[in-house]
Amino acid sequence: MSIANTNIQPLVHPDKFVNLEKVTHLCTGGEAPWLKTQEKVFAKFGQLKGAGYDGRSKIYAIGERCRQRMGELWEAPAHRIAFMPSAAEGMNWLARGLDWQEGDNVVTTNLEFPSVAYAWKHLRSQGVDIRLVPHSNWIVNETDLLNAIDERTRVLAVSHVSFYTGQCLNLEQLSAGIRDYQTLFAVDATHSSGVVEVTAELTDLTVSSSYKWMLGTHGVAPCYFSERAETKTKVTCFGWHNLSVWPEQGAERLANAPEKSMPEKLEPGNPAMLVVMHLDQALEILLSVGITKISDHARSLSKQVSDGLKEIGFTVISPQNYNSRSGNTCFQFSNAMKMQNQLAERGILCWGEYGRVRISTHLYNGSNDVRRFLGVLSELQL
């Protein structure tokens, strides 16, 4: 596909977002732009919050609609999806709740995001081995991950899409590869949910931040939790929302209170309902376009970015295989922050850190954005 003779149009016009008429926004992998319709959501929340018990009930009804929409996006039963405060908390729920024994192990990669790689940090003192499978020239091979698993592997923990390279792991292959073990499969979908297909039922835990590809903001991370994981994991955080306190109890507390089932089990207190309402609005947009269409769009733009970077002479570290692509296309540059700042001065927003620059293409981007980025990049004095 040559960018010269292919013109991919945005799936959603950039004028639906705040300030995109002023910039070329290629940094969704860091922070997504804000939908203009979210202003009405904020106003609606304010109206309902001041409407007493009835208003609060309506807020929670919108929350349940959001849960249903997450189930549709992830192809999973909505009642198995909870709203957690962050993706890190999802991984830590497993780390805290499993009955760990000396000699157990966790398999992850040495190219992982910290909240995946280090959720198990405290377990080393209990004799648990944390196996960091090395990448091979920036690519994590699914076979290498599976070869690191044995009968004592309690959890395989990975990001569906890498924050550093944009590689999209094959969840079907990994899920099938651990079928003969008692290993739980935990996936951080922060860089995939909203831009490529996520099939949560292939996993035991799928969790995602909302402020990137799902077009929401900080404070809520939807988390799918399988029945198998639920039976193996004890609850370690309690509050009024995940215990059967009312109407079973009145004002006075009894010695004990039964735990609720999913999804409340993972929600000890009130979720950040304003953020849930914003996520609900964003999901309406994503689902109306369709995740398959969005995925094809983002991966096609990724190829244009990758081809253009290689023509200029940069080393692309993202996979070249179509199914291993995502919305993130990454290339090496030693002073990545300097490049990020130079591009920002020229109205192009990307994300540069740790020796690589990340270009993110989503449903509001098109080939003209790619052309502008490549044109400006080729003129920079680096």
Average pLDDT in the chain: 97
Helix/strand number for the chain, H first, E second:
11, 12
CATH architecture assignment, domain 14-35+291-379: Alpha-Beta Complex (3.90)
DSSP 8-state code for residue 325: -
Per-residue pLDDT band for 1 (boundaries 50, 70, 90) equals very low
Tokens of 84: 């957690």
Mean pLDDT, rounded, for 213-242: 97
Q: What number of CA atoms fall less than 13 Å from residue 270's CA on the CB side?
A: 8
Per domain, the residue ranges of the chain are 14-35+291-379, 40-287
Does residue 220 contact residue 84 with C-beta atoms inside 8 Å? Answer: yes
Summarised one tens digit per residue, pLDDT across range 12-40 is 999 999 999 989 999 999 999 999 999 99
Distance CA 2, CA 265 (A): 50
Sheet with 328-332: list strands edge to edge.
Answer: 328-332, 356-360, 351-353
Share of the chain above pLDDT 70, in %: 99
Does residue 349 contact residue 27 with C-beta atoms inside 8 Å? Answer: yes
Candidates 3.40.50.10420, 3.50.50.60, 3.30.70.940, 3.40.640.10; CATH matching 40-287? 3.40.640.10
Summarised one tens digit per residue, pLDDT across range 143-157 is 999 999 999 999 999
Predicted confidence (pLDDT) at residue 250 exceeds the cutoff of 70? yes
> Given this model, what pLDDT does residue 6 score?
83
Range of weakest confidence among 49-53, 75-79, 246-250: 246-250
Summarised one tens digit per residue, pLDDT across range 170-201 is 999 999 999 999 999 999 999 999 999 999 99
Distance CA 35, CA 285 (A): 10
Largest separation between any pair of C-alpha atoms in the chain: 72
Q: Strands 24-25 and 105-109, how do they pair? A: unpaired
pTM: 0.96
Predicted confidence (pLDDT) at residue 270 exceeds the cutoff of 60? yes
Does residue 215 contact residue 65 with C-beta atoms inside 8 Å? Answer: no
Amino acid at 147: N
Per-residue pLDDT band for 358 (boundaries 50, 70, 90) equals very high
Distance CA 44, CA 222 (A): 22
Summarised one tens digit per residue, pLDDT across range 290-321 is 999 999 999 999 999 999 999 999 999 999 99
Amino acid at 126: Q
Distance CA 292, CA 294 (A): 5
Mean pLDDT, rounded, for 212-233: 98
Distance CA 183, CA 156 (A): 7
Predicted confidence (pLDDT) at residue 67 exceeds the cutoff of 50? yes
Predicted confidence (pLDDT) at residue 3 exceeds the cutoff of 80? no
Where are the extended beta strands (E) located within the chain? 24-25, 81-84, 105-109, 129-133, 153-159, 184-188, 205-207, 221-225, 328-332, 348-349, 351-353, 356-360
Mean pLDDT, rounded, for 207-229: 98
